[in-house]
Amino acid sequence: MRWTAAIAVILTIMAFSLMPALGVGPPTAPSGGPSPYGFRDAGPAPPNLTVTGVIYVPLRNLPLIFYYAQAVSAPGSPLYHRFLTPGQVRDLFYPTQEFNETLAHLRSYGLRVLLTAADSIIVFQGQAWQVERALGVRVDIFTNGSVSFYEDVGPVAKGPWAYPYVSNATMLVFDRPQFLLTAREAAAVLSRLEGLNVSFPLQAYPMTALAQAYNATALYSQGFNGSGVTVGVLEFYGDPTLSQDLAYFDEEFGLPPANVTVVPIGGYNPNLGVITGWALEEDLDVEAIHSMAPGARVVVYVASGELPLSAAIAFIDGQDQVSVLGQSFGVPEAFLSSLGWSLFYYNVYLSDVYYALGAAEGITFVAASGDGGGMGYSAGPIGDVPYPASSPWVLAVGGTTTYISGDSSLQTAWSSMGFDQLLQALGGSTGGYSAVEPMPWWQEGVAPAPPQGFPYGRAVPDLAAQASLFPGSLMVGEGNQTLVVGGTSESAELVVGLLALLAQASGSRLGLIAPLLYGLYSSGDLNAFEPVAFGYNVPWTAGRGYNLVTGLGALNVGELAKYLEARAGPASGPLAEVLVNGNYTAFMAPGQPVNVSVKVGGPYASNCSLEAYVVSLEGVAASATMTYNSTLGLWEAELTAPSNASGVVYVEVRGECNGAAVRGLDEAFLGYFGSAVAPVPLYPYAPQLGMPVAVFPVSPMGNMSFSVAYNVTVLEYRPLNNTYGQVISVPAMGGNVTELRFNASPGYAVLWLRGPVYGFVPFFIGSSLQYYFTVLPQVFSQPGSAYPGGWVLIEGLPVPPVETLFIPSSEISWAVFWAAAYGSNVTAELVAPNGTVLSGASLPMTYQGYYAGLLRVPQGLPPGYYLVALRSSYNSTEAGMDIEGYGVGMIYVAPELRASVQLFPSALPEGGGVEVMANITYPNGTPVRFGLFSATLLPAALTGLYENLSYSTEVPLQFSDGAWEAEAYLPGPSSIGNATYYEGAYGGEWAVVVTGESAWGDQLPYSSAYAWLGRNVVYRGVNLTSGFEASGAVFEDVTIMYNGTISWSLMEGLVRVVSSRLTLSYVDSQGVIVAVNSNLTLRYSTASALILIDSRARLEYSDVGEVIVGPGSSVSAALSRVGKVINGTAWGALTNAASQAELLGLSGLGSMRPQHATPRAITTTPIQGVTKTQQVAALREVGPGQGWALTAAVALSLVALAIMMAVLTLTRGKS
Nearest alpha-carbon partner for 705 in 586, 585, 590, 581 = 590
Distance of alpha carbon 1006 from alpha carbon 1019, whole angstroms? 32
- Residue 38 pLDDT: 57
- Choose which CATH entry (3.50.4, 1.10.1740, 2.60.40, 3.40.50) describes domain 774-893: 2.60.40
DSSP state at residue 767: B
What angle (nearest 5°) sits at the alpha carbon of residue 878, between those of residues 876 and 880? 65
Instruction: For the chain, give percent helix, strand, coil, nearest 5.
Output: 20, 40, 40
DSSP designation for 24:
I
**858 CB burial (10 A radius; 0-12, 13-18, 19+):** exposed
How many other CB atoms sit within 10 Å of the CB of residue 1136? 14
Would you say 1099 and 1117 are in contact if contact means Cβ atoms under 8 Å apart?
A: yes
Rounded CA-CA distance 708/722 in Å is 33
CA distance 925 to 945: 30
- Residue 1036's SS3 state is strand
Instruction: Report pLDDT for 949.
Output: 56
* pLDDT given at position 1153: 26
The ranges of the chain with pLDDT < 70 are: 1-38, 154-162, 183-202, 425, 568-575, 582-584, 602-604, 737, 905-913, 941-953, 969-988, 1008-1016, 1032, 1128-1215
SS (H, E, C) 610-625: EEEEEEECCEEEEEEE
Contact yes or no for 1104/1176 (Cβ under 8 A)? no
The amino acid occupying position 26 is: P
pLDDT of residue 190: 53
Give me the pLDDT at residue 1188, please.
24
- Where do the DSSP E strands lie in 1016-1120? 1017-1020, 1023-1024, 1033-1036, 1039-1040, 1044-1052, 1054-1058, 1061-1076, 1079-1083, 1086-1093, 1096-1100, 1103-1109, 1114-1118
DSSP reduced 3-state for 213:
helix
Per DSSP, the chain holds a count of helices (H) and strands (E) of: 22, 75
Q: Taking Cα atoms as reference points, which of 202, 250, 291, 274 lies closest to residue 485?
A: 202
Q: What are phi and psi of 353, to 5 degrees?
A: -60, -45
Give the class (CATH, top level) of 576-670. Answer: mainly beta
Taking alpha carbons only, the member of 944, 836, 728 closest to residue 197 is: 944
**Does the domain made of 672-765 have the CATH classification 3.40.50.720?**
no
Dihedral (CA of 893, 894, 896, 902) sign: negative
| Alpha helices (runs of H) in 19-127, residue ranges in sequence order | 62-71, 86-93, 96-108
**Is 15 in a helix, a strand, or coil?**
helix
Compute the distance between CA of residue 553 and CA of residue 550 in angstroms, rounded to an integer: 5
- Within the chain, all domains assigned CATH 2.60.40.10 are found at 576-670, 672-765
557 DSSP assignment: H
CA 782 to chain CA centroid, Å, is 12
If one counts every other C-beta atom within 10 angstroms of the C-beta of residue 764, the result is 30
Vertex 145 angle, CA 163 and 371, to 5°: 75
Q: Within 10 Å of residue 544's Cβ, how many Cβ atoms? A: 10
pLDDT of 9: 31
Q: Which CATH superfamily is domain 898-1013 in?
A: Macroglobulin (MG2) domain (2.60.40.1930)
CA distance 680 to 13: 10
Q: Report the 10 Å Cβ neighbour count for 1025.
A: 11
Which positions ≥6 away from 580 have C-beta within 8 Å? 63, 594, 595, 596, 597, 651, 666, 668
Look at residue 120 in the predicted model and tell me its pLDDT. Answer: 96
pLDDT of the residue at 1137: 35
| pLDDT attached to residue 784 | 87
Closest CA to 233 of 293, 276, 172, 183: 293
The CA-based angle 705-706-709, given to 5 degrees, is 95
> What spatial distance separates the first Cα and last Cα of the chain, rounded to whole Å?
36
Strands 825-831 and 364-368 turn out to be unpaired
DSSP β-bridge partners for residue 1044: 1062
pLDDT computed for residue 1164 by the predictor: 26
- pLDDT tens-digit readout, 217-231: 999 999 999 999 999
pLDDT value of position 1029: 81
State the fold for domain 202-566: Rossmann fold (3.40.50)
User: What amino acid is encoded at 1196 in this protein?
Assistant: L
Q: Is the peptide bond before 939 cis (omega within 30 degrees of 0)?
A: no
